[in-house]
Amino acid sequence: MTRVLFDLCGIDEGLRFSPYCWRVRYALAHKGLDAETRPWRFTDKQALAFAEHDKVPVLVDGDTTVTDSYEILRYLDRTYPEAPLFGDALAEGRARFLKHYAERALQPAMMRTIIMDLLNAIHPDDRDYFRETREKRFGRTLEEFHSPAKGLSQLDAALEPLRGRLKEADYIDGEAPAAGDYLVFGSFMWARFVSSADLVSNADPVYAWLERMLDQHGGLGRRAMRITDVEGAYR
């Protein structure tokens, strides 16, 4: 059976930086499932018309098409129940909270820190679209929104609950990573691949967790291309 994951790429087809796609890539690895990752760009809406969707990730698994990273994780647990991502209904409820925590607390702080690096990492044909849509969302220019000092301060405060958990256990989900870890970790992968900014101190328990997560599934995250690997792209 052919399994395809449509995955956001940047200035190089090998530069894959979507936090939502990384959630799915780790979930697939957790399940031991292979998938072709097919590069997609922001303005290539027609490529996803078959899914009646306009953003990635989109997973095609045989005759089934699933959109939205969280729904893809739920689909994987229903369809491939071995090595569960969520576990029981209570665990899924906790994972849903972590999804919102990552998207509403962590990502806005990261965005304020790395927005100009992110613009640089995007394919040149997508930059006008990205600038127009994000400036409309923020109500200001990207340059005005960009404030690394404020972003890092905001992120530091937002990480306190995560630090508390990671002082108790190696992973958010306990002794081994699962959906909760992947839902949060995807946001850090987004920043890692487009920027060289140091978001957390190496003395922070979050840093140690990130290092463990990068080594999971045969070093899946650590082996992936970063913007600094693209010749002449990082400035």
Say yes or no: do domains 3-79 and 89-229 share a fold.
no
Strands (E), the chain: 3-8, 36-40, 58-61, 64-67
pLDDT in tens, 177-189: 999 999 999 999 9
pLDDT in tens, 105-161: 999 999 999 999 999 999 999 999 999 999 999 999 999 999 999 999 999 999 999
Q: Is the pLDDT score of 1 beyond 70?
A: no
pLDDT in tens, 14-25: 999 999 999 999
Share of the chain above pLDDT 70, in %: 99
Homologous superfamily, domain 3-79 = Glutaredoxin (3.40.30.10)
The full set of domain ranges for the chain reads 3-79, 89-229
pTM of the model as a whole: 0.97
DSSP 136-157: HHHTS-HHHH--HHHHHHHHHH
For domain 89-229, give its CATH number from 2.40.240.10, 1.10.3720.10, 3.30.565.10, 1.20.1050.10.
1.20.1050.10
Distance CA(142)–CA(139), nearest Å, equals 9
Residues 217/110/231/131 CA torsion (nearest 10 deg): 130
How confident is the model at residue 234, as a pLDDT? 66
